[in-house]
Structure 1
Amino acid sequence: MVLVLFDSDVLVSKIILAGCIAVLFYLILHYALKMLEMGYVLKYMKPWYTHFYLRSKKLSKQQRHVLQQDFPFFNKLDKKYRGYFEHRLVSFMSDKDFLGREGFQVNDEVKVLISATAVMLTFGFRDYYIGIISKIMIYPKAFYSNTNKTFHKGEFNPRLGVLVLSWEDFKLGLDISNDNLNLGIHEFTHAIHINSIKERDISSTIFSDSFKELKELLQHRPELRETLLSSGYFRNYAFTNQFEFLAVLMETFIETPKEFQANFPEVYAKVRQMLNFKFANY
């Protein structure tokens, strides 16, 4: 009996030791890979990989119809990337709470188009959830904001994790696709910007570091800064502060990329680097 107990204790000890060694090996390997990727990021300013899904999620037939009909970016992607986009869209919609205000009814069209805007902006990211957002509130049109006692078309509250949109103005931004005015892109950029400051995952690091490089470029190139200011290509609101500047840059990058690249190639390259945008002819 004593011998049996002794053998049993030895076996348990060996199992525990093997488990500890396995965990230690995993941690060392995980840390080593993270360090290697960070070195890769510092050199090339892009992640090792962006898309990896064990099982792809699919939209319903109705949801896919909305996406194909009303979101041109999706149709610019090749078949493989359209599958990735669908997976991310389903995942993003499941992760957020969509709340209608002032009688507004949230349906598939609303969820798909708003979420597609977020997924588009983060399509070059590995982590695309924009974790700082937990709720998306939709009003039928411009709403009164208690924050600064005025009417807003959209706003983002990082403290509450709430992004708020006027559906009327959001849709207008989609329907007119070449005026460099897109409420969805603008407000989601604010959320991505703040999220990149808060988080330190690979994509957030690339986003925030690339924006820092852009600010340094403009600081050391006063003639480029002056050209930006006087060109009329970026609306005056862009120069309110760094957050509005970045939001307007993203609107112009998405809506008129060829004109942006032709007029300001260095700035365009930095924005493209921030988003890791290497698809859909960007």
Structure 2
Amino acid sequence: MLSRVRGWFRRTPPSFDPTWEAVLRSGFDHWNLLDDAELERMRMLVARFFHGRRWEAAQGMDLTDEVKVLISAQASMLLLGLELDEYLDVSSVIVHKSTMRVKKQRPTGGGVWSGGTQHISGQAHHRGPVMLSWSAAQRGARVPERGMNVVYHEFAHRLDMMDGVTDGTPPLGDEAAQARWQQVFTEAFARVHDGESILRNYAGTNPAEFFAVATELFFNRPFDVFTHERDLYEELRSFYGQDPANRLVRAGIHPDA
């Protein structure tokens, strides 16, 4: 046992391949907004994710290094400001060419459930794999102004799952923070159902989906969240340890641009 522990400490940390830089600069819009300190941490996070996951291809997907590094960078973006260097319980990442067909049960009322096939772009399993559509992941990385990013969405679910419950409230550290989070998110969730929110309707599915959709919009359209859902923005800024709106301003991009 001791020799195994010593071997673990002797392992060479995974390295960031310099050739990935060009891939990320051309394929991941948010990479170009990061400052030097953020880039240094991101390179470490990307290398850990890239080398530390088991990657699986589906639908005849060609699982190239470009595919893996672009997904790694998007997943790592959520960890950038956290005191967390990796998703410890993600067993593998399964990449499909496009949308996936899954069988789902949905309530139709009166205790009756109806089964059917749905087409989805991603799915996160507790203590298991994360499934992603490459076409959706690529689109989300390149066109953040759409406000959608399947990698952010599914890995927000994985952060939510860290306390063992998928309820839209990730581990927050203390009771006061948790109470504040729940109040802000409950009020914002109600606005989705009342048709008074900038978040898309899918956010109203349940609190877990609300958190995942809010995460997407927070990183992709931060000015919108800051302007229309200020309290929600502040809770997400505090949790993620990042200020995407300020990052855009720092890059010379302003709300009226």
TM-score when scaled to structure 2? Answer: 0.76
Q: SS of the counterpart of 1:61? A: coil
Equivalent residue for 1:266, pick from 231, 240, 244: 231
Q: SS of the counterpart of 1:91? A: helix
Equivalent residue for 1:244, pick from 204, 209, 212: 209
CA drift at 1:236 = 0.8
Change beyond 3 A, Cα 1:278–1:208: farther
Change beyond 3 A, Cα 1:150–1:276: same
Q: SS of the counterpart of 2:144? A: coil
1:175 aligned partner: 142
CA distance in structure 2 between the partners assigned to 1:229 and 1:267 by the alignment: 17
2:6 aligned partner: none
Q: Which amino acid aligns with 1:150?
A: Q
The reply on whether 1:72 has 2:34 as its aligned counterpart is: no
Q: Please, which moves more after superposition, 250-259 or 71-80?
A: 71-80
Unmatched runs of 5 consecutive residues or more in structure 2 = 1-11, 106-116, 248-257
CA distance in structure 1 between the partners assigned to 2:104 and 2:175 by the alignment: 27
1:104 aligned partner: 61
Change beyond 3 A, Cα 1:71–1:128: same
Q: SS of the counterpart of 1:186? A: helix
1:132 aligned partner: 89
CA distance in structure 2 between the partners assigned to 1:209 and 1:196 by the alignment: 17
Equivalent residue for 2:123, pick from 131, 146, 155: 155
Equivalent residue for 1:194, pick from 140, 161, 173: 161
Change beyond 3 A, Cα 1:207–1:57: farther
CA distance in structure 2 between the partners assigned to 1:80 and 1:226 by the alignment: 37
CA drift at 1:196 = 4.1
Given that residues 29 and 144 in structure 2 are in contact (C-alpha distance below 8 angstroms), is that contact kept between their aligned partners in structure 1?
A: no
Equivalent residue for 2:182, pick from 215, 218, 222: 215
Equivalent residue for 1:184, pick from 146, 151, 162: 151
Question: Residues 139-176 of structure 1: CA distance to partner in whole angstroms, max 9, x if unpaired?
Answer: 111122256543321111115x1000111122122232
Q: What is the RMSD computed on CA atoms of the aligned residues? A: 2.8
2:198 aligned partner: 233
Given that residues 147 and 217 in structure 2 are in contact (C-alpha distance below 8 angstroms), is that contact kept between their aligned partners in structure 1?
A: yes
TM-score when scaled to structure 1? Answer: 0.70
2:4 aligned partner: none
Percent same amino acid among aligned pairs?
Answer: 23
Matching of residues 13-162 of structure 1 within 5 Å: 58-146=15-103, 149-159=117-127, 161-162=128-129
CA distance in structure 2 between the partners assigned to 1:207 and 1:92 by the alignment: 28
CA distance in structure 2 between the partners assigned to 1:196 and 1:72 by the alignment: 31
CA drift at 1:109 = 1.1
Counting matched residue pairs gives: 221
Given that residues 99 and 133 in structure 2 are in contact (C-alpha distance below 8 angstroms), is that contact kept between their aligned partners in structure 1?
A: yes
CA distance in structure 1 between the partners assigned to 2:74 and 2:139 by the alignment: 13
Q: Identify the structure with the greater strand proportion.
A: 2
CA distance in structure 2 between the partners assigned to 1:236 and 1:78 by the alignment: 34
CA distance in structure 2 between the partners assigned to 1:167 and 1:208 by the alignment: 39
1:3 aligned partner: none
Q: SS of the counterpart of 1:230? A: coil
CA distance in structure 2 between the partners assigned to 1:89 and 1:213 by the alignment: 32
Change beyond 3 A, Cα 1:185–1:208: farther
Given that residues 57 and 63 in structure 2 are in contact (C-alpha distance below 8 angstroms), is that contact kept between their aligned partners in structure 1?
A: yes
2:222 aligned partner: 257
The reply on whether 1:164 has 2:131 as its aligned counterpart is: yes
Unmatched runs of 5 consecutive residues or more in structure 1 = 1-54
Q: Identify the structure with the greater helix proportion.
A: 1
CA distance in structure 2 between the partners assigned to 1:211 and 1:180 by the alignment: 26
